[in-house]
Amino acid sequence: MRLFVYGTLKRGGCNHRHLHGQRFIAEASTQARYRLFDLGGYPGMVLDETEGRSIEGEIWEVDAACLRLLDLLEDTEGGEYLREPIPLCPPHSDWSVEGYRYLRSVAGFADIGNCWRE
């Protein structure tokens, strides 16, 4: 499956090792529907239909075993992140891609624009 990553999983990020053996496809950007917040060492992308931005990231082809590991890392079962379809900008707008959206409150956290940098 194709997965959009925008934070610590990107190449050079502290959690990139979890993508070992997976295939990098391309750099990409989401449609302008999200905001990115610094949650203290890692980012959270939240939905914002009114003032959303296009978030920069990468598309990876990941296998089922890797996806299970990433779901644990992102605590999807505990409700921190939700893995869902992510609409991308051209030239990837017709691709089926999922990514992780942050579900908890971002009150008090800094909005960091459209790109996470460690």
For residue 118, is pLDDT > 90? no
pLDDT, tens digit, 9 for 90 and up, residues 49-90: 999 999 999 999 999 999 999 999 999 999 999 999 999 999
| pTM metric for this prediction | 0.95
Tokens 């920069």 — which residue?
Answer: 56
Instruction: Please determine, looking at this structure, whether the domain spanning 2-111 carries the CATH number 3.10.490.10.
Output: yes
pLDDT, tens digit, 9 for 90 and up, residues 14-49: 999 999 999 999 999 999 999 999 999 999 999 999
Cβ pair 101, 6 in contact under 8 A: no
Q: What is the percentage of the chain residues whose pLDDT exceeds 70?
A: 100
Cβ pair 53, 31 in contact under 8 A: no
Give the confidence band of 109 by pLDDT, cuts at 50, 70, 90.
very high
Catalytic positions are: 74
